[in-house]
Amino acid sequence: MCDFFWPLELSILGAILGSFLATVAIRWPAGRSALSGRSLCDGCGRPVAARDLVPILSALLLRGRARCCGARISRLHSAVEIACAICGLTAGLVASDVTSLVIAAFGWLLVLVAALDATELWIPDPLIAIVAVTGLATAVLLPPPVSDRLIGGAAGFGSLWLIGFAYLRLRGQEGLGGADPKLFGAIGLWLGWRLLPAVLLFAAMIGLGMVALRLAAGRAVARDEAVPFGAYLAAAAYPALLLMVHLET
């Protein structure tokens, strides 16, 4: 397989999968299935023609408005499609064959996690369970060894759970979402314990960067405002896997 075409193919696959995952991210919080039926307009519920379903390009050509009813197409569609395309591209650049597919799959799962957390402050347990199980299973293809991953799972969950518990005791309010320790544990099952401090630091930096951006845009940030920390963890974990695979192979 040519070195150049594979990352390109994986990025196209990512964009196509991303268009499905964006639908999942929009429908799951409402308890609707993304698998049943055809693609329906988020605005009016009418079926969307195939020509208007091309990832990224359709939204650009339609200037962000649905052809059927003129409703704004949620920016989540393009954001998820672009993020999934980037995950595919970068996975194809650091690895080849089935290994790169597995790496991309981690990214695609994390994009769904981030989309749900960013829009709904909600990460469903079944989704975290999929991240956890696939993490342990991929020890056959990728570093680190199973022992590192099991410690990572326990350390990831335990560390954030303790931080959340201490915050609750000291401040008398929830400082972390209930899903964050579980997600960090699942990430530990992919990356092993060694990378977790770096992921946590990077996630915190993304969070601070977001706050700085909002302040720079002149918008207030409340002290007790809920932030999608799970989305920041997801955004930090994927580059960590890319870097680890790049350095170790």
Burial of 63 (0-12, 13-18, 19+ CB in 10 A): exposed
Q: Given the complex with Zn ion, which of 73 and 244 has the nearer CB atom? A: 73
Q: What would the x/- binding string for Zn ion be over residues 4 to 43, using CB under 5 A?
A: -------------------------------------x-x
User: For residues 201-220, which are near Zn ion according to CB under 5 A?
Assistant: none
**Applying CB under 5 A, which of residues 4, 33, 44, 72 lies at the interface with Zn ion?**
44
Q: Given the complex with Zn ion, which of 74 and 159 has the nearer CB atom? A: 74
CA dist., res. 182 & res. 151, Å (int):
14
CA 133 to chain centre: 16
Which ranges of 1-61 would DSSP assign to H, the alpha helix?
A: 5-27, 57-61
Contact call for residue 49 and Zn ion (CB under 5 A): no
Contact call for residue 54 and Zn ion (CB under 5 A): no
CA dist., res. 171 & res. 188, Å (int):
28
**Applying CB under 5 A, which of residues 10, 15, 66, 112 lies at the interface with Zn ion?**
66
Contact call for residue 175 and Zn ion (CB under 5 A): no
Contact call for residue 62 and Zn ion (CB under 5 A): no
Q: Given the complex with Zn ion, which of 47 and 209 has the nearer CB atom? A: 47
**CB of 47 vs Zn ion, minimal distance in Å:** 9
CA dist., res. 224 & res. 171, Å (int):
11
CA dist., res. 244 & res. 94, Å (int):
10
Q: Which two tokens stand for residue 139?
A: 């020890």
Q: Which residues bind Zn ion (CB under 5 A)?
A: 41, 43-44, 66, 68-69
